[in-house]
Amino acid sequence: MSSPPASGQRIAWEALPDHVRAAIEGWLGSAVVSATTQPGGFSPGVASRLVAADGRRVFVKAVCSTPNRDSPRFHRREIRIAGALPESAPAPRLLWSLDEGGDGWVVLVYEDVEGQHPTLPWQPDELDRVMAALQALAESLTPSPVPEDVADSVVSWLNRHGRGFNRLLEDPLPGLDEWTLRHMIDLARLEGQAPVAAKGDTLLHFDTRADNLLLTPDRVYVVDWPHARLGQPWVDVVLFAPSVAMQGGPQPEELLARSPAGRAADPEAVSAMIAAMAGFFTNQSLQPPSPGIPGIRQFQASQGVIARRWLQDRTGWL
């Protein structure tokens, strides 16, 4: 299966309003002399590595309510979460932020990590490094160092967004595949068990994909934390697995077996979470295009196909 790109509508550093660039340079205490746009990820805004006249390097991301009204909310949430992460977490340090409020600009400035995204299709050695890093991350973030009033919980997210099959049962959308239509009642029932199955006290990234990982010679960094939530440690592996298979890596069940947390998890709990994930991707992929994020529906559809196939293998539902 060919992999759709994880990309939004990036805008250049130079396209930021003058007053926003001036605020960033004022905090830096030096003029920006070089800006390199980073293409990976769905955020429809600025994502640039900056070099200042005094040699300082930082990474800046910035959005406003145009073209996507939800993007500032995610950036605001990331400010709270990134600012609460312990220094031991393998994540770039948040150095400064700006929030103009309302429909204005939201800016985050991070330390610049001189790393690269994993090579795609996935390479075995890089995937091994990432899986080891995810295990270490889960261990270091259990119990969560970030309170639930900052990071919220997987349970809360599932109750709001993890009922895709239930929504499709109530209001079927054109384009549903035959297997889903055939098993819709059972799928809706299974995903309904996910909130209990996923409840836990580990701080999860909850959006792990190749474009949210940076590899340096001696470390794996996990970037972009607006979706972080508290839950079971194996949940991040379950959510990661469809994108890995889609991008040339092993199939989800094999990836889960590589994870100590995945091997220790209750199989029925894992199946419930897979169902919630599959329902989310399936339902979202059938929604209208998201403004400023043209590739996200295709990306969700491709992951939905893999998640449903994974669930079919685990349940035996033909």
Helix orientation angle between 296-315 and 184-191, rounded to the nearest 10 degrees: 100
Is the separation of the CB atoms in 55 and 133 below 8 Å? no
CB atoms within 10 A of CB 178: 7
State the residue for tokens 């926003």.
20
Q: What share of the chain is helix, strand, coil (3-state, %, to 5)?
A: 45, 15, 40
Report the pLDDT value the prediction gives residue 2, as an integer from 0 to 100.
Answer: 59
| Alpha-carbon span 205 to 188, nearest angstrom | 25
Tokens representing residue 47 in the block = 């994502």
Q: Is the peptide bond before 145 cis (omega within 30 degrees of 0)?
A: no
Look at 235 and 1; give whichever has higher pLDDT.
Answer: 235
| Alpha-carbon span 175 to 198, nearest angstrom | 29
pLDDT in tens, 129-186: 999 999 999 999 999 999 888 999 999 999 999 999 999 999 999 999 999 999 999 9
CA dihedral 187, 191, 192, 197 (to 10 degrees): 140
On whether the pTM is more than 0.75, the answer is yes
Domains of the chain: residue spans and CATH? 13-111 (3.30.200.20), 124-315 (3.90.1200.10)
| Alpha-carbon span 237 to 261, nearest angstrom | 9
- Those residues whose C-beta lies under 8 Å from the C-beta of residue 209, and which sit 6 or more positions away, are 6, 240, 243
Range scoring the smallest mean pLDDT among 152-156, 280-284, 291-295, 314-318? 291-295
Is the separation of the CB atoms in 134 and 240 below 8 Å? yes
CA dihedral 42, 46, 51, 54 (to 10 degrees): -140
Per-residue pLDDT, averaged over 224-244, amounts to 97
CA dihedral 277, 136, 123, 222 (to 10 degrees): 70
